[in-house]
Structure 1
Amino acid sequence: MRKRSDRTRACLAVVAAAVLTAAGCDAGGGASGAGDGTKAGRPSSRPVPVWDRSPDSMAAVGDSITRGFDACAVLSDCPESSWATGSDAAVDSLAVRLLGVTGAARRSWNYAVTGARMSDLPGQVTEAVRRRPELLTVMAGANDACRVSTAAMTPVADFRASFQDAMDRLRAALPKTQVYVASVPNLKRLWSEGRTNPLGKQVWRLGICPSMLGDADALDAAAVRRRDRVQARVEAYNAVLRDVCAKDRRCRFDGNAVFDFRFGTEQLSQWDWFHPSRNGQARLAEIAYRTVTAREPVA
């Protein structure tokens, strides 16, 4: 009887060890921890979240805002002042906040293009995925609303199709890369703030965002309707960004934080009163960092 009892205990011990080993692998999403989109080598003793709050590399796509246009020099891109990947200490970009100064210089890349619209985003994403970034930032849509007339604004359906195409290309190449999506800024507030500056209005006459900023002092019914149409289109674009992003568990929309930000003239470029100044770029970096590092996505 004693030998049989000893054999039984030995068998139970082997079974228990096998069960514990299997449970440990499942908790971590696989032996390497990479199955849940997390860095390899992390402990697998407990479940890890899908969203990594400290990615090790990043790339940025979008338009002139992400290129830092007019932030540090007139009519020039200033990528060093970009909210996303810039090195300017006054901005303290998202890349610097996440990766440190040295890490940002080595492991962050800016593929945004001044003047780009949402239809350009798929091509930018195709370029960016070659770097295999752990985080991709997206800020695009202002140029889709800033057209020569309201009739020339990008249709909402086309805007959606281009953004979905960009996300599909990203997922086909990098299923686990995280995405931060910034809302389109409030162009009507920009008009309201910038029109108080005579120099700003003179610059706007050169053709900056005429659908919203043209005839800046006009307050007649036609001008009000025009600006309201532009504002409604921006809001529709933001709804698209939110909806498409919500379908992807590794995508975080900013919850309209950029759109809702109560910026003033200090956050506008002193050269065109349209693009963000270095101060404005810093505010965009703060919003992005808050969203990326939050324990839970914005509701």
Structure 2
Amino acid sequence: MGTNPPRRPIPRRRPTSRRRPTSHRRPTSRRRLVPTAAATVLTTGLLTIPATAEARTTATAARTAAGAQTVAAPPVPARMASLGDSITRAFNACGWYTDCPSRSWSTGSTGEVNSHYLRLRAQNSALTAYNDARSGAKIADLNGQAQTAVSQQAGYVTVLMGANDACTSSESTMTSVADYETRFRAAMSTLRSGLPNALVFVASVPDIKRLWEVGRTSAAARTAWSTFGICQSMLANPTSTAAADAARRDRVRQRVIAFNQVQATVCAEYGANCRFDGNAVFSYPFALSHVSGWDYFHPNTSGQAVLAQQTYARSFWATALVSQRR
């Protein structure tokens, strides 16, 4: 075969510049920094999650990884009922020595209080509320109130009972812990058997020694306590620093603590349909401005609002999603 003649190198043509003149380049500073509508969502499988929820999603994943379980809040029932004493009747919250149920922390209709009823009605406008509490009631009256709630077919029941069992004419007339437990169990049994699907919220008895602490320096409070014989087991001799009076106040407070422990125990035994407030009401550092200026004992409208806020924050509907430990 012959040898091919050498190829002549082909001169490279200088390519014609297709670049835009400098004056027509899109400046870097004009690049689009705001994401498009399609880019504002994060898609995971078939779920489209708004970018604004990314932080919440991350936090939820972290809780799940740590052993937490996220469950949906229960639907709001058609009826609710409140059981208790003068606190739940909002006694002295709107007038001189009268019940003011419209201002009740549980079933009140006054917007200033923002009760459980109003918060839940925002989710179910058909919700009906019954206030079955009675001013002056003690734990001995709770079972009768529970029976009334059963007859009303309540799907949600709040319970706040025990202040009158500790706030008596003297330390010796307080309800015993054993009697309190027997009667509280009986009422809870009535609710469980009569309303097996109802949700029950139990609020702790307030710390009545706190009332003594914030009111003892007020001449008006001391006068009201003495004139009307209010809670003498705790509030007698309010300015005394004698050891005997200090010990008495501590024993009365301990009785309230024991009542709350009974509630926590029985509620836990009741099961998932009962929720205790974890002593939120008992532990709240209320001020004298939260009680009625007529008796310096019962919560006023402001105090009822505090009760509503503190208890609802521990309720079944505190958030749309409730994180629970497995």
Residue in 1 that maps onto 2:215: 194
Out of 154, 157, 173, the residue aligned to residue 152 of structure 1 is 173
1:122 aligns with 2:150: no
Contact 1:57-1:99 within 8 A present in 2 as well: no
SS in 1 for 2:122: helix
Q: Tell me the alpha carbon deviations over residues 175-210 of structure 1, each in whole angstroms, 9 at most, x when there is no partner.
A: 110100000000000111112221111010021000
Quote the residue 1:222 is aligned against.
244
Say which SS state the counterpart of residue 157 (structure 2) adopts. Answer: strand
Distance in 2 (CA, whole Å) between partners of 1:95 and 1:243 is 26
Task: Give the partner amino acid of 1:280.
Answer: G
CA contact (8 A) 1:258 1:284 kept: yes
Distance 1:140 1:112 in 2: 9
* Whole-angstrom distance in 1 between the partners of 2:72 and 2:268: 14
- Counterpart for residue 284 of structure 2: 261
Task: Give the deviation of 1:128 after TM superposition.
Answer: 1.2
- Cα deviations by residue, 1:247-276 (Å, 9 ceiling, x for unpaired): 122100000000000110121111111110
Please name the residue that 1:5 is paired with. Answer: none
SS of equivalent residue, structure 1 residue 60: strand
Instruction: Give the aligned residue type for 1:214.
Output: A
Q: Which residue of 2 aligns with 1:212?
A: 234
The answer to which of 179-188 and 94-103 deviates more is 94-103
**Match for 1:86 among 99, 108, 115?**
108
RMSD (CA atoms) = 2.1
The answer to whether 1:177 aligns with 2:190 is no
User: 1:96, 1:103 within 8 Å by CA — same for their partners in 2?
Assistant: no
After TM superposition, the runs of 4+ consecutive aligned structure 1 residues lying more than 4 A away are 48-51
On the 8 A contact 1:291/1:297 being kept in 2, the answer is no
Indicate conservation of the 8 Å contact 2:76/2:124, yes or no. Answer: no
| Cα offset, 1:287, TM superposition | 1.6
Q: Which runs of 5+ in 1 are unaligned?
A: 1-47
Number of the residue aligned with 2:58: none
- Higher helix proportion, which one? 1
Q: Give the Å deviation of 1:224.
A: 0.5
What amino acid maps onto 2:181 in structure 1? Answer: R
Look up the match of 1:251.
274
Per the TM alignment, residue 281 of structure 1 is displaced from its structure 2 partner at its CA by: 0.2
Task: State the identity as a percent.
Answer: 46
Over alpha carbons, which structure has the higher Rg?
A: 2
- Flag the structure with higher strand content: 2
Select which of 275, 296, 305 maps to 1:273.
Answer: 296
Deviations 1:20-68 (A, max 9, x none): xxxxxxxxxxxxxxxxxxxxxxxxxxxx969626344210000000000
What is the CA-CA distance between 1:297 and the residue it aligns to? Answer: 6.9
Q: What is the DSSP-based 3-state SS (H/G/I as helix, E as strand, rest coil) of the residue aligned with 2:158?
A: strand
State the TM-score, normalized to the length of structure 2: 0.73
- Whether the 8 Å contact between 2:280 and 2:311 is mirrored in structure 1 is no
Please give the alpha-carbon distance, in whole angstroms, between the structure 2 residues aligned to 1:274 and 1:101: 33
The corresponding residue for 1:288 is: 311
Residue 52 of structure 1 is matched in structure 2 by: 74
> Residue by residue, what CA displacement relative to the aligned partner does 1:72-131 show, whole Å, maximum 9, x if unpaired?
111111101111111111111110011139948x60100000010111100001011111
Quote the Cα distance in structure 2 between the aligned partners of 1:282 and 1:102: 21
What is the CA–CA distance in structure 2 between the aligned matches of 1:50 and 1:138, rounded to whole Å? 24
Q: Note if contact 2:202-2:277 (Cα within 8 Å) is conserved in structure 1.
A: yes
Q: 1:134 to 1:252 in 2, by over 3 A?
A: same
| Unaligned stretches of 5+ residues in structure 2 | 1-69
Equivalenced residue count is 251
**Greater displacement, 267-276 / 136-145:** 267-276
Matched, 1:77 2:99: yes
User: Aligned equivalents of 1:193 and 1:101: distance in 2?
Assistant: 37
